[in-house]
Amino acid sequence: MSEDGGAGATGAAVLDPELAGRLKRNADGLLCAVVVDHGTSDVLMVAWMNDEALAHTLVTRQATYFSRSRQQLWVKGATSGHTQHVREVRLDCDADTVLLRVDQTGPACHTGTRTCFDSDVLLPDG
């Protein structure tokens, strides 16, 4: 997960009750969020969202996540400038994961790399 120390979201967005009723959250009330580059479809990162983070993302198009370590919302890039403008949000067939297609500014990973999935190749292509 990419956490850049971003400040929490401002204002409390509320998720549409119909959508909220469909979601299957984990025991901590969170949904997995898979983030891909809108232009290349490269997987950039995986993070977690609670209802408020998802609602804020849907309203503002600023990727907003829930930090499990800090127990608070964070807007991607709020402190680093490495923002994610959300182009599309999709819910998977089980309603337990969201896919965010984003325009990424700067690196997506907290390590400073473009993607969080470029360090360890466990099974090479081929």
User: pLDDT tens digit string along 80-100?
Assistant: 999 999 999 999 999 999 999
How many C-beta atoms surround the C-beta of residue 48 within 10 A? 18
Dihedral of the CA atoms 15, 81, 92, 66 (nearest 10)? Answer: -50
Residue 4 has pLDDT above 90, yes or no: no
Residue-level pLDDT at 126:
87
pLDDT over 70 at 5, yes or no? no
Place of tokens 């969170």: 30
Q: Is 65 or 2 the better-scoring residue by pLDDT?
A: 65
User: pTM of the predicted model, to two decimals?
Assistant: 0.88
* pLDDT given for residue 1 in this prediction: 35
Instruction: Pick left, alpha or beta for residue 54 (phi over 0 → left; psi -120 to 50 → alpha; otherwise beta).
Output: alpha
**Sheet holding 97-104: strands in order across?**
43-49, 31-37, 97-104, 84-91
Q: Does pLDDT of 8 surpass 70? A: no
* Superfamily grouping for domain 17-104: Phosphoribosyl-AMP cyclohydrolase (3.10.20.810)
**Residues 33-90: pLDDT tens digits?**
999 999 999 999 999 999 999 999 999 999 999 999 999 999 999 999 999 999 999 9
Q: According to the model, what pLDDT value does residue 86 have?
A: 98
